[in-house]
């Protein structure tokens, strides 16, 4: 078989994947970019797509829902990512040093991450019910006269979603940290023991520095994931009360599939992409200052 035939067969094998990528990913992305500069309500058909330039982007400046969604998304990300990573690392260190029930506890922490989002959301709605939920019942039993209203309170709804997100994300980060911990060179710990280093010194000087590549990976992936959060908001609060839990993806969904403002929703998608790209680029740019390869 000559080289030309080998090349042809190679392209033929790639053709199904390339066709799927082009039809289901590349073309929709390009069409979405085009829609960001148009006014289209999808119901009126393709013949009524009106090009309006940058009007969708200038509209965002005075859009209360959009501005609230950006603020809420940054608050959500800035709380969920560090809290999840810190708790995951601490639990991973504890489990890594345990002799008994390590596998059982690891599975228990991982179950929320792989559980159905709808089922988890229903569970949390029941737990944080303002009147009959076990959380408020426990708080009243402990002497709290006016426990929070949680999901129906503008001050506590986002807190509830953050708690749920941290609880569900810990399992994934925990497994990644455990795998990294089990591959750390034990010679360094043996040398530290000989020098009389306590657990805190070993944690600060050996464990955390050697885990920085893993931490960097988790920071990137969890940041991207938190900017794409949708299911907990949609299932628990639908962006409310008011705009207290509206995030960018939910606002995009609201504009596209409730009001059929496909052009404006596409513009929001472009802004979301720009934010994720910028945040990831900054993290990647400064990785050399804190990541030990």
CATH number of the domain where residue 230 is located: 1.10.3720.10
Structure tokens given for 53: 């330039």
* Domain assignment of residue 216, given as a range: 63-117+167-289
Domain membership of residue 3 (yes or no) is no
pLDDT over threshold 90, residue 92: yes
**Cα 35 from Cα 31, distance rounded (Å):** 6
Say how far residue 25 (Cα) sits from the centre of its chain.
21
What pLDDT is stored for residue 107 in this prediction? 86
What pLDDT is stored for residue 293 in this prediction? 58
Of 59-63, 177-181, 287-291, the range with the lowest mean pLDDT is: 287-291
How many structural domains are present in the chain?
A: 1
What pLDDT is stored for residue 193 in this prediction? 87
**Is 56:36 a contact under the CB 8 Å cutoff?**
yes
Nearest to 89 by CA among 226, 212, 227, 223: 212
Domain membership of residue 75 (yes or no) is yes
**Cα 114 from Cα 118, distance rounded (Å):** 12
Nearest to 213 by CA among 183, 170, 192: 183
Domain membership of residue 276 (yes or no) is yes
Domain membership of residue 270 (yes or no) is yes
Structure tokens given for 1: 């078989």
Query: What percentage of the chain carries pLDDT values higher than 90?
Result: 69
Domain membership of residue 85 (yes or no) is yes
Question: Average of pLDDT values for 122-140?
Answer: 92
Pairwise pLDDT comparison (26 vs 196), residue with the higher score: 26
Domain membership of residue 40 (yes or no) is no
Nearest to 192 by CA among 182, 206, 211: 206
For 225-253, what is each residue's pLDDT tens digit? 999 999 999 999 999 999 999 999 999 99
For 2-21, what is each residue's pLDDT tens digit? 788 888 888 899 999 999 99
Domain membership of residue 190 (yes or no) is yes
Domain membership of residue 250 (yes or no) is yes
Locus of tokens 């590349």: 26
Question: Average of pLDDT values for 260-278?
Answer: 95
Question: Average of pLDDT values for 139-155?
Answer: 92
What pLDDT is stored for residue 189 in this prediction? 87
Look up the pTM and report it. 0.92
């Amino acid at each position: 078989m000559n080289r030309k035939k080998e090349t042809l067969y190679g392209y033929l094998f790639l053709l199904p994947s390339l066709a799927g990528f082009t039809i289901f990913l590349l073309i929709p992305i390009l069409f979405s970019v085009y829609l960001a500069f148009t006014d289209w309500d999808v119901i009126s058909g393709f013949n009524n797509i009106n090009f309006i330039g940058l009007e969708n982007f200038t509209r965002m400046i005075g859009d209360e829902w959009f501005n609230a969604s950006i603020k809420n998304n940054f608050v959500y990300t800035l709380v969920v990512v560090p809290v999840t990573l810190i708790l995951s690392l601490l639990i991973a260190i504890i489990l890594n040093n345990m002799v008994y029930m390590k596998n059982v506890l690891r599975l228990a922490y991982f179950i929320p991450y792989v559980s159905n989002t709808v089922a988890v959301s229903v569970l949390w709605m029941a737990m944080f019910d303002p009147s009959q939920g076990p959380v408020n019942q426990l708080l009243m039993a402990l002497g709290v006269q006016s426990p929070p209203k949680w999901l129906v309170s503008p001050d506590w709804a986002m807190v509830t979603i953050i708690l749920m997100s941290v609880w569900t994300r810990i399992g994934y980060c925990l497994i990644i940290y455990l795998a990294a911990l089990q591959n750390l060179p034990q010679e360094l710990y043996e040398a530290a023991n000989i020098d009389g280093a306590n657990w805190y010194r070993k944690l600060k000087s050996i464990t955390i520095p050697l885990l920085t590549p893993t931490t960097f990976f988790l920071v990137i992936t969890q940041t991207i994931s938190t900017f794409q959060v949708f299911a907990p908001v949609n299932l628990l609060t639908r962006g409310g009360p008011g705009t207290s839990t509206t995030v960018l993806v939910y606002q995009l969904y609201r504009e596209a599939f409730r009001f059929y403002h496909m052009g404006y929703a596409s513009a929001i998608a472009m802004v979301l992409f720009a934010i994720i790209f910028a945040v990831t680029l900054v993290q990647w740019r400064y990785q050399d200052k804190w990541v030990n390869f």
